[in-house]
Amino acid sequence: MMSPLGAATSMLLLLLVSGRSLSAPRSFSIDYQNDCFRKDGERFRYISGSIHYNRIPRVYWKDRLLKMYMAGLNAIQTYIPWNYHEDSPGQYNFSGDRDLIHFLQLAQDVGLLVILRPGPYICAEWDMGGLPAWLLRNKDIVLRSSNPDYIAAVDQWMGKLLPMIKPYLYQNGGPIITVQVENEYGSYFACDYNYLRHLTKLFRSHLGQEVVLFTTDGAGLGYLKCGSIEGLYATVDFGPGANITAAFGAQRYAEPRGPLVNSEFYTGWLDNWGSPHASVSPEAVTKTLNEMLAKGANVNMYMFIGGTNFAYWNGANGPYKPQPTSYDYDAPLTEAGDLTKKYFAIQSVIKMYHKIPVGPVPPTTPKYAYGSVEMKKLQTISEALDKLSMSGPVRSKDPLTFTELKQNFGFVLYRTTLPVNCSKPTPLSSPLNGIHDRAYVSVDGVAAGILERSKVIAINVTGKAGSQLDILVENLGRINYGKEINDFKGIVSALNLATVPLTNWTMYSLSIDEAVSEGLLGAREATHRAPPQPVALSPPTFYGGSFIIPDGIPDLPQDTYIQLPKWRKGQIWINGFNLGRYWPSRGPQVTLFVPANVLSTAAPNNVTVLELEGAPCSSGPCTVEFTTDPILNGPVHGDHTRRRIPFAKEDLL
């Protein structure tokens, strides 16, 4: 309870605050003379952290923001992924987990300012760097350039988005202090200044003249050359161990005066399937952080919490290497929002420069091990085809891409017949590496092998003329960085049998997510129509199981992790929520984060697995297991032995 005196004081405070805001309006600007930002006229420096609302369930936004606030941050930075909000042209979604405005409001309520990065391109290890795949309906589109089709789409999108943002700018009473235009544009081949000029005008026309617009590029003159332009404040990004004198020297090349800003100080690094889990020591992070803060620089830590690439949202690096489901990033808050040593190490460095809030840090959320769940075979993809292909098949002489089939994510089944007798093993090959990205091949319902982009471009098949050839193609995530971002999916070039291209395709766009959430795959027993499978490989098959959350234990449901021992590769849903891809046979990620909000205490929880290569069910226990501890650094089985150089943009080319 507040004492009457306390109430009087806070009333006075309120009067003072509103009194000041009447005489001196809120302002945020760059002071070039004194090399700093100014907020309401006062010298201001931000210490910020990146959090992507699109990688965290809405119910946890506040918890993560509070933890960031309690670490001593005064700002957060977020991207806005265009493709997350405009699934098909003109169809916008800003509700539920996509409620950007609610996120901005929460940040402000918690006491955090916002550095906003609305793209249009964002990189972010997010599918296609946030660009919508439907842009590729123009096959020749030059993304991130003055290409008219691209510009028209950008204008439409920004015409929707930026007016929503405007009331949330700092000077309009909201939390947004600065807005980034494009993203590391200097790393892109196009170097199209007219494009940057167009974006500058577009942002200004919607947001006004006052807001600070900025760019971010690698800390090297080569990047700043094409990335920075008159009218946008140039900032740089670099990680622990950098020579900060040299790095900020690069920023000074583009901006002789103004605040020093590292817009992406890497607290960890991204992962790829088949490469070891990234890990960066707290000491390395705090050493460079301390140096930057001592120099008076503004810093955003990328990431402060990474979160999860739920469903199909992960991106990929080129030459093709997709990123896993977890975006833990070895950040100071884990994928599940847990506090780490790195969190407290960063907090103690910040404490040396800024006053940090007093009071307890919100605790790590408890995890619960629901135990193991017995899984039962439901149906193969081919058996369930009538339920999965809601739009019906499309026929064409040559195979069509996902874009041509108007499908963004997931899986397409390509079907044809063997035109000739293949009594001896006959190569089925994609000479132009056109399987994007992984194809599960079967002949008359019997698994025949797997083709994989940049890894396996040919397998042998056998079968009689007229045998049914089924090729389930998985989109493993679009390239999000570099010049290969026009990343078409499906069978994108000729697939040959011996030397002759296969024709007469029937293609099924699969609405697996809808079928799973509507329970269409049911608990039907397998038909056993197909002959016994070789243990090595089975055709893609759904499995289902369920579990009840025990009564009498308080505070359930709680978060958990799921692992799939001896399962190989696939996709997993709980109660229709798509948790993402699992691939323990490739590594390093072994467990998937299951947020409590997808679980139910009112009904049995339904687990659906699409296993693409072969479930352990024929040879032993056929279970999935819930545990309390994440495993993100499991053994890896990649054949790329290229050594990773952390924090170097070249590493991602």
Ligand X SMILES: *[C@@H]1O[C@H](CO)[C@@H](O)[C@H](O)[C@H]1NC(C)=O
Binding site for ligand X (CB under 6 A): 93, 95-98, 243, 245-246, 249, 420-421, 425, 427, 458-460, 464-465, 504, 506, 519, 575, 600, 603-606
CB of 241 to ligand X, least distance (A): 11
Distance of CA 415 to the CA centre of its chain: 31
Cα–Cα distance between 155 and 229 in angstroms, integer? Answer: 20
> Which pair of tokens denotes residue 512?
């697996």
Cα–Cα distance between 540 and 324 in angstroms, integer? Answer: 20
Minimum CB distance to ligand X smaller for 112 or for 521? 521
Which residues have a Cβ under 8 Å from the Cβ of 147 and sit 6 or more positions away? 141
Integer distance in angstroms from the first to the last C-alpha of the chain? 58
Minimum CB distance to ligand X smaller for 13 or for 458? 458
Minimum CB distance to ligand X smaller for 195 or for 327? 327
CB of 457 to ligand X, least distance (A): 9
Q: Does residue 518 sit in helix, strand or coil?
A: coil
Q: Does residue 44 sit in helix, strand or coil?
A: strand
CB of 502 to ligand X, least distance (A): 10
| Residue 415 identity (one-letter amino acid) | R
> Which pair of tokens denotes residue 408?
């963004």
With contact defined as beta carbons under 8 Å apart, do 621 and 371 qualify? Answer: no
Distance of CA 281 to the CA centre of its chain: 23
CB of 93 to ligand X, least distance (A): 4
With contact defined as beta carbons under 8 Å apart, do 375 and 607 qualify? Answer: yes
The one catalytic residue among 184, 335, 383, 611: 184
Instruction: Give the gyration radius of the chain's Cα atoms.
Output: 26
Q: If you write DSSP's letter for every residue of 96-144 in order, what string do you get?
A: GGG-HHHHHHHHHHHT-EEEEE--S---TTBGGGG--GGGGGSTT--TT
CB of 650 to ligand X, least distance (A): 19
Minimum CB distance to ligand X smaller for 169 or for 378? 378
With contact defined as beta carbons under 8 Å apart, do 443 and 404 qualify? Answer: no
Cα–Cα distance between 651 and 47 in angstroms, integer? Answer: 27
Beta-sheet strand order (sheet of 577-582): 376-380, 541-547, 605-611, 570-574, 577-582
Cα–Cα distance between 25 and 21 in angstroms, integer? Answer: 5
Minimum CB distance to ligand X smaller for 11 or for 523? 523
Q: Which helix or strand (DSSP H or E) is residue 326 part of?
A: none
Q: If you write DSSP's letter for every residue of 602-641 in order, what string do you get?
A: SSPEEEEEEESS--GGGTS--EEEEESS---S-----S--
CB of 486 to ligand X, least distance (A): 26
Catalytic residue status for 255:
no
Minimum CB distance to ligand X smaller for 318 or for 419? 419
Minimum CB distance to ligand X smaller for 231 or for 419? 419
Nearest to 377 by CA among 520, 590, 528: 528
Pairing of strands 371-374, 623-627: antiparallel
Q: Which residues pair with 442 in a beta bridge?
A: 447, 470
Indicate the residue whose CB is closest to ligand X: 96
What torsion do the CA atoms of 431, 433, 436, 437 make, to the nearest 10 degrees? 110
CB of 468 to ligand X, least distance (A): 8
Minimum CB distance to ligand X smaller for 210 or for 518? 518
Residue 100: CA count within 13 A, CB half-sphere: 24
Minimum CB distance to ligand X smaller for 66 or for 574? 574
Minimum CB distance to ligand X smaller for 13 or for 221? 221
Q: Is residue 302 packed enough to be buried (19+ CB in 10 Å), middle (13-18) or exposed (0-12)?
A: buried
Which residues have a Cβ under 8 Å from the Cβ of 85 and sit 6 or more positions away? 92, 93, 94, 98, 100, 161
CB of 24 to ligand X, least distance (A): 40
Minimum CB distance to ligand X smaller for 50 or for 605? 605
CB of 99 to ligand X, least distance (A): 8
Q: Which residues pair with 339 in a beta bridge?
A: 333
CB of 248 to ligand X, least distance (A): 10
Cα–Cα distance between 461 and 385 in angstroms, integer? Answer: 23
Cα–Cα distance between 105 and 21 in angstroms, integer? Answer: 19
Catalytic residue status for 184:
yes
CB of 406 to ligand X, least distance (A): 16
Pairing of strands 371-374, 490-491: unpaired
CB of 418 to ligand X, least distance (A): 9
Q: Does residue 145 sit in helix, strand or coil?
A: coil
The one catalytic residue among 264, 335, 383, 613: 264
Minimum CB distance to ligand X smaller for 48 or for 416? 416
So which residues are the catalytic ones?
184, 264
